[in-house]
Structure 1
Amino acid sequence: MLTQRKTPSPVLAGLLAVASLVAGPFVGPAQAKPAAAPVHERTLDNGLKVLVLPDPRAPVATHQVWYKVGSADEPGGITGIAHMFEHMMFKGTETLGPGEFSDIIARLGGEENAFTGRDFTAYFQTLSAAELETVMRWEADRMANLKLDADEFAREKDVVREEWRSRVRDNPNARLDQLLHATAFSSSGYHHPIIGWKTDIDAYTVDDLRDWYQTHYAPNNATLIVVGDVDPEAVFELAETHYGPIEPREIAAAKPREEMAQHGTRRAELVIPARLPRLSMGFKVPSLVTAEDPREAYALTVAAGVLSGDSGARLANDLVRQGKLANASASYNINARQTTLFSLDATPKNGQPLDEVESLLREQVERLRDEPVGEEELDRIKAQVVASEVYQRDSLFYQGMKIGIYETVGLGYEQADRFVEAIQAVTAEDVRAVARKYLDDRRLTVATLEPESDDSEPALPSPTGGIDRVH
C-alpha cells in the first residue's frame, strides 16, 4: 500500500499501481525474456547512492529520490509521521515558498508527486531531460534546507485528517485491511497503517517533524535514481554539484522489530456501517528479503498468480464466474522488507454467510497444498510475467520505481533483473511446497466485516480507524 500526497493524473495513477510490483499484474501474451539495460552507479562522498539508467527513446527523464524510511520505522505515539512529513516536504525551504517547487515543475511541463510506503518514502519528477538540473537543484534544497513552519503544518495536518476521513473512516474495506494487519502483526512495524492512527495524527507537533527530518532525511540514507534520455557521466556531475555539498548525518541502526512467531489462527471482527460484508485472510509468509531460500518467495509470487493473476485465474474462474462469490482476489508483496502477508479477500453474494466465504477460500488454498499446478497453467503464468515486464519497461517511471524499491528494501537493484529468470525456474512442486509450509492455520489471521444492522445504535468514528472488536 502507498499513500500519495495528491491525486495524480490518470496515467500517473496507473503507474503508481506498481507499488505491488511483482505481486503482480499477470497479463498479456507470452514474450521473450527482455534484455536488461545496464544501470550506471556511483556513490558520492556524503553517502548518496546515484543510479542512472539511460533510455533514449524520448527526450524525457524521471528523477526520483528514495529515502530508506517508511511507516514501519515509526515508534508508537507518532504513527503516520512518515506520511505527514511527506506532505510537509512540499511546504517550502529557506529559498522557496510553500508550493513553489511544484509550481516550477508545472511551468516546465512536468509532473511531480511523492508516496509513502511501509518501507520507504519517495519523491519524483518527470519532465524534459533538458530540465534535469533544475529539478536536482530544488530537490537537493529540500533535502538540506526544509522549512517546517508551524502555520503550514497546522493547515497540512487538516489535509491529512481529511485524507484519513475519506480513505479510512468512510472506507469500510480500508478499515478491514487495517484490522487484518493490526491483528496479524503484534511486534513488527507492519502493525499500524501507513496513514497512522487518528489519535496520533491529532497529536503530532512540529518538533516531531524536525526530529524525523534530522533522523532520516540525509544523503547517506537516500538513493537518487535518474532514468531517461541522459548521459550517466553528466548526471553524476550534476549530482555532485547539487547533492554533493550536503553533509551526511549519523544514521542510527534500526532496532530489530521482527514479528513474533504465531502459533494459531487469529480472528477479528469489525462491525460498522457498510453496504457489503467482506472477509480477509492473511497468512504470514517471508518476503524475498526475509526468506532463507529466495526460491520460496518466487514460488509464493507464482502461487498468488495461480489464484488471482488474471481473469482466467482460479478465484475468478472457479468462484466468481460460477456465481459462488461476488468477487475474490489474492495478493503477495515479494519486496516487503519484513515478514509479510499472503492475502485472500472476498465479498459474498447477497445473504451469503461469511463462514461459507471462508470455506470457499480455504478450498482453494487446500487445492494449492494438495495438487500440483498443471503444466499448461504454470506456463501461462510465467509467460504473463515476462510480458508484463516487457510492457512496464515502456514507462520511465516504472523502471525507476522498480530500481528504487529493490535498492531501498535492501535487495540491491541488480536483483530486479533476476526476477523473470527466477519466476521461470519455479516448478509446480515449488508452489505446492510453499503452500504446504506457509499457508497453514498456525500462520493465519482472519478478519471479517459485518455491516451494522439497521436497529443498532449509530457508532461513533473509531479513533484507531475501526479496530472495534478483536477476538
Structure 2
Amino acid sequence: MQILIKLIVFFLLTTCLFSKSLDFFVLENGLRVILLEKHNAPVVDVRVFYNVGSVFEKDGEKGLSHLFEHMMFRGSKNVGDEEHSQKIQRIGGTSNAYTSDDLTVYHQKLPSVELELALFLEADRMQHLIVNKEILDKEREVVKEEYRWRYENNPQGKMFLEARKIYYPNYNYKYGAIGKLDDISALSVEECNAFYSNYYSPGNAILVIVGDFNTPKLVEQINTYFSLIPRRKLVKPPFSLYKRPKGKVEATIATEFPTEMTTVSFHVPPAHNVKDLATLEMIGFALANSESSRLYKNLVKDKQLALGVFDYVLINKGSSLMMIGASHKPELSKKIQRSLWKEFKSIKKRGLTETEFKKIKNKLLTSKTFDRYSSSSLADGIGRAYLYSGKPDAYLKELEIYESITQKDIKRVASTFLIKSNSTTIHFVPELKEKK
C-alpha cells in the first residue's frame, strides 16, 4: 500500500508540474534563455549560468573562477558595492552563487511581482561589472580565509583536496573550485578583467527562470534588459573529457582524523550520461546509503569492523567519480577492501535483490519528484542539465530515465565500471599512525 501511495503521488506531481512545457530561445547576442511557468506560489527563481568553472583555468590562475564569483557582488555601473544582495533582501528575496568544476551560477529567489529587479541586476553586472585593485584585494583575502577555514583547518576538506590530486593527476579537476593559494595571491586586475571579458559574455551564459510569471510579458522584459548587451567574441573554453589511465591505483594519505578510513573509487561516465549515473546511484544506495544497506549490515552491525559506511557520486562534465568507503578500526583496511569487492562482484553477477531494487527506485523517484516541486531545484536542474547535454528539456525527462532502469542495467553498469583496472583505493591514516 505504501509503494502504491508513493507511485500515485509521483504521477500526480509529475503531471501537475510539467503540464506546461518550457520555452527556449536565443537572443541575437547569443544569450540562451529557458523559461518554465509554475504557478503554485507567487515566487520566481532567476539563475544565470556561465559556462566557466575551475576546469577551464590556466596554470597560475587556479581559483580564479571562484574568486570572480565573489567579485560579481561588489558593484557594477548602476549598482553599488554589495547592493545586489541588499536590494534582493529588501523585497524579501534571497541571492547567492556557487562555483563548481564546470560552471558558475548566480541565483536569486524573490516575489514574482519583483521579477524585473533581478533582470536589471543580472544584466547590469553581465555588462558593467566594476573590477579594480581595491575590490580584488578585499575579495582575495575573503577567499584565502575561506580556503583556510574549509580546507587547511578542516580535516575532511583537507583530506578530499589531497584525494583529488590522486583521482585527477593530470586534469583540471585536480584542485577543485577553491584553487591554489599561491595562484589566488598572485592574480592581477588585468587577469580578472580578461577573465570577465572572455567568459562573462551573453554567448557564454544561460538565463533560467522558473516560477509565477506570464511568458509573453517576461520575454519582452528579457529583451529590454539583455538584448542590448553587445555580443562579444566567444572564447571557447579549452575542454576535453578526462581519460583515465588504465590500471589499479592505490595510495595512503595521512589525515588529522582520529580514525582510519578506506575508500574505493571509480571513474564513471560524464554528466550527460544520466542513465548510467542514475544506475550507479541506485547501486550506491544498496551498498552504503543507510542502515539497511549491505555494507552497513555486514561491516558495522554484524562484523563490527567499521564505524560507518558511505557512498558518494561527484557528477561532472569531464568525468564523474563514484566513491564507496568506510571508517574503521585500525589495521583493518585490507579486510574492508575484501568486503567491498565481494559486494561489487555480487552485484555484477546477480544485480540487486528485487526488494532492494523496488525500494531504492521508489525512494529515488519520490525524492526527485518532490525536488521538482521547488522552483529553485527546478531552475538549477534545468540549467545544469542543459549545460551538460545541450538539450533544454533534458532535466524534465530525467524522471523517465530513472523509471526505465532495469536489473539488466544494474549488472551492465556494475560490470563496466566497478572493476579493478578502473579503481582508486585510498587508505586514510591518522598522522600519528602513518607508517614511515
Q: TM-score, normalised by structure 2?
A: 0.91
Say whether 1:48 aligns with 2:52: no
Q: SS at 1:413's partner residue?
A: coil
1:438 maps to which of 417, 429, 436: 417
Rounded to whole Å, the distance in 2 between the matches of 1:411 and 1:297 is 17
Structure 1 residues 426 and 126: CA distance shift in structure 2, 3 A: same
Rounded to whole Å, the distance in 2 between the matches of 1:381 and 1:324 is 25
Say whether 1:398 aligns with 2:377: yes
* Residue 315 (structure 1) aligns with: 295
CA deviations on 1:113-155 (whole Å, 9 max, x unpaired) are 0001111100011111111111111111000000012112111
**Which is worse superposed, 199-208 or 51-60?**
199-208
Q: Percent of aligned pairs with the same residue?
A: 26
* Residue 120 (structure 2) aligns with: 137
* Residue 262 (structure 1) aligns with: 245
Q: Give the CA deviation at 1:352.
A: 4.8
User: Quick check: 1:180–1:445 contact (8 Å CA) kept in 2?
Assistant: no
Say whether 1:339 aligns with 2:301: no
Rounded to whole Å, the distance in 2 between the matches of 1:142 and 1:295 is 37
1:286 maps to which of 250, 253, 269: 269
2:328 maps to which of 343, 348, 362: 348
Rounded to whole Å, the distance in 1 between the matches of 2:138 and 2:39 is 42
Q: Give the CA deviation at 1:198.
A: 2.0
Q: SS at 1:45's partner residue?
A: coil
Q: SS at 2:257's partner residue?
A: coil
Rounded to whole Å, the distance in 2 between the matches of 1:324 and 1:29 is 36
* Residue 61 (structure 1) aligns with: 44
Q: Give the CA deviation at 1:266.
A: 1.6
**How many matched pairs?**
425
Equivalent position amino acid for 2:161 in 1: Q
* Residue 208 (structure 2) aligns with: 225
Say whether 1:452 aligns with 2:431: yes
* Residue 380 (structure 1) aligns with: 359
* Residue 279 (structure 2) aligns with: 299
Rounded to whole Å, the distance in 1 between the matches of 2:255 and 2:10 is 49
* Residue 61 (structure 2) aligns with: 78
* Residue 419 (structure 1) aligns with: 398
Gaps of at least 5 residues in structure 2 are none
Q: SS at 2:295's partner residue?
A: helix
Rounded to whole Å, the distance in 2 between the matches of 1:95 and 1:32 is 45
User: Quick check: 2:52–2:237 contact (8 Å CA) kept in 1?
Assistant: no
Rounded to whole Å, the distance in 2 between the matches of 1:380 and 1:272 is 36
Q: CA RMSD for the aligned pairs?
A: 2.2
Say whether 1:114 aligns with 2:97: yes
**Which is worse superposed, 376-385 or 185-194?**
185-194
Rounded to whole Å, the distance in 1 between the matches of 2:28 and 2:378 is 26
Q: TM-score, normalised by structure 1?
A: 0.85
User: Quick check: 1:68–1:409 contact (8 Å CA) kept in 2?
Assistant: no
Structure 1 residues 197 and 346: CA distance shift in structure 2, 3 A: farther
Structure holding more helix per residue: 2
User: Quick check: 1:70–1:119 contact (8 Å CA) kept in 2?
Assistant: yes
Q: Give the CA deviation at 1:309.
A: 4.3
Q: Give the CA deviation at 1:308.
A: 3.6
Q: SS at 1:330's partner residue?
A: strand
Structure 1 residues 416 and 89: CA distance shift in structure 2, 3 A: same
Structure 1 residues 172 and 358: CA distance shift in structure 2, 3 A: farther
Q: Give the CA deviation at 1:156.
A: 1.1
Say whether 1:89 aligns with 2:72: yes
Gaps of at least 5 residues in structure 1 are 1-27, 457-468
